């Protein structure tokens, strides 16, 4: 793949920020959008806009075909067995909450356990807190190694016959660690537990095969993978979706409605009450077309190579602390770091003055920040349109910040 050529497809990358070219390194928060995705959404609104499923006129048929074709596209992208295992949602957060409310609350009992790492994004932690509180279940946390990795022997020790759910991110949004979800699923299933995978940071960056992974549920967002905001996916094995109750009720998801009781359609439509996110689904399908044209294997190697270079270069700067796997060890396409006693918000502000956009804060992972005894961190995250020149710009900007904050580095 040629990142320089790909950059031409992304209009926003031509922006000038504070007199500098834009170096966009906040891809773990959201990605930029290529013209192909923007044009697919515009084309829908200009030529096919209608509500889906219920209309018999031409526009209704076109919109329905485009929407359901998008579901088929998603199923192929994640290698699901059937499009009926794909539910459109507003994003990863909504998908995980739907599992916690529609599946877990009906299954959990007092004394049951939910196993998860303390490094999870709040969206894969708070819903389980609430489910445990409502049912009497208990949260059990996996220990982390100093570099944030998880040992399978610790998973073996934590998962027991009392475990009902194991919830885990495939890739940590803070540390860039890639968790062995296939092996974790094997351990969980051996004890009769299900596995919920947060794929927000993995599905955009590496090939995904839910059958090989053997997860029971997978959640991810469109906006992190070149798609529009407001669209996400909940994948569930057919048997799990059949067991799961809807969390939204109203139009479209119903089968028969009487005055005192109602019945629902089968999955996935029973989970998509009301007018769905039609344009978002169409945009997501276009994004997946673009990503597969480039090649997910190429993207995975490209992103990891940039992150490895950034870790190596940043680690050479006195005062920089790298979180997660150290230089030379495998990580996904992001690096989280701090510069001495400089608050990450101040560091990010200085970098922005040089046109370099990074994320600063607790990254929706406050328990992990407490484990590392820091209030916040800075994070640079890479994608298919980033280049080695972007890594150089990041390092140069950090060096300028070090000089600017001099007294706070030691």
Catalytic residue among 254, 315, 364, 374: 364
313, 391 contact by CB (below 8 A): yes
Kind of pairing between the strands at 86-89 and 23-24: unpaired
Among 396, 388, 377, residue whose Cα is nearest residue 335: 377
Kind of pairing between the strands at 262-264 and 254-257: antiparallel
Give the other-Cβ count within 10 Å of 281's Cβ.
Answer: 27
Please say if 364 is a catalytic residue: yes
Task: For residue 254, give both structure tokens.
Answer: 């119903």
**Angstrom distance (rounded) from CA 385 to CA 394:** 15
165, 193 contact by CB (below 8 A): yes
**Angstrom distance (rounded) from CA 30 to CA 213:** 25
Q: Please give the full DSSP string across 284-319, using - where no structure is assigned.
A: HHHHHHHHHHH-HHHHHHHHHHHHHHHHHHHHTSTT
| Residue 199 neighbours by CB under 8 Å, 6+ apart | 92, 169, 170, 208, 218, 219, 220
**Angstrom distance (rounded) from CA 311 to CA 68:** 42
39, 226 contact by CB (below 8 A): no
Question: Residues with catalytic annotation?
Answer: 364
């Amino acid at each position: 793949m040629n990142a320089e050529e790909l950059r031409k497809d992304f209009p926003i990358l031509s922006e000038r920020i504070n007199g500098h070219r834009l170096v966009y390194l906040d891809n773990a928060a959201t990605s930029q959008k290529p013209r192909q995705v923007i044009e697919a959404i515009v084309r829908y609104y200009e030529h096919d806009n209608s509500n889906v499923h219920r209309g018999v006129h031409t526009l209704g048929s076109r919109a329905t075909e485009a929407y359901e074709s998008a579901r088929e596209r998603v199923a192929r992208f994640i290698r699901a067995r059937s499009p009926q295992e794909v539910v459109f949602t507003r994003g990863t957060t909504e998908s995980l909450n739907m599992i916690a409310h529609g599946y877990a609350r009906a299954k959990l009992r007092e004394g049951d356990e939910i196993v998860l790492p303390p490094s999870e994004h709040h969206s894969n932690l708070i819903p389980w807190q609430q489910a445990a509180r409502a049912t009497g279940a208990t949260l059990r946390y996996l220990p982390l190694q100093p570099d944030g990795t998880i040992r399978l022997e610790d998973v073996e020790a934590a998962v027991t016959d009392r475990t009902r759910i194991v919830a885990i991110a495939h890739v940590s949004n803070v540390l860039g660690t890639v968790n062995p979800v296939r092996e974790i699923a094997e351990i969980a299933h051996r004890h009769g537990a299900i596995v919920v995978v947060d794929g927000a940071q993995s599905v955009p960056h590496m090939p995904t095969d839910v059958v090989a992974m053997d997860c029971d549920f997978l959640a991810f967002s469109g906006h992190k993978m070149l798609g529009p905001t407001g669209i996400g996916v909940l994948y569930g094995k057919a048997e799990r979706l059949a067991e799961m109750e809807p969390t939204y009720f109203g139009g479209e998801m119903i089968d028969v409605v009487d005055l005192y009781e109602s019945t629902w359609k089968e999955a996935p439509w029973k989970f998509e009450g009301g007018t769905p996110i039609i344009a978002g689904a169409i945009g997501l399908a276009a994004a997946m077309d673009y990503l597969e044209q480039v090649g997910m294997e190429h993207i995975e190697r490209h992103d990891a190579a940039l992150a490895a270079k950034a870790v190596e270069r940043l680690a050479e700067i006195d005062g920089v602390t790298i979180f997660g796997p150290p230089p030379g060890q495998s990580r996904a396409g992001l690096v989280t770091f701090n510069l001495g006693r400089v608050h990450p918000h101040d560091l990010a502000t200085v970098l922005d003055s040089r046109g370099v956009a990074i994320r600063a804060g607790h990254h929706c992972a406050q328990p992990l920040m407490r484990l590392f005894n820091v209030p916040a961190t800075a994070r640079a995250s890479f994608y298919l349109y980033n280049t080695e020149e972007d890594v150089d710009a990041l390092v140069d900007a950090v060096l300028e910040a070090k000089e600017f904050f001099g007294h706070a580095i030691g």
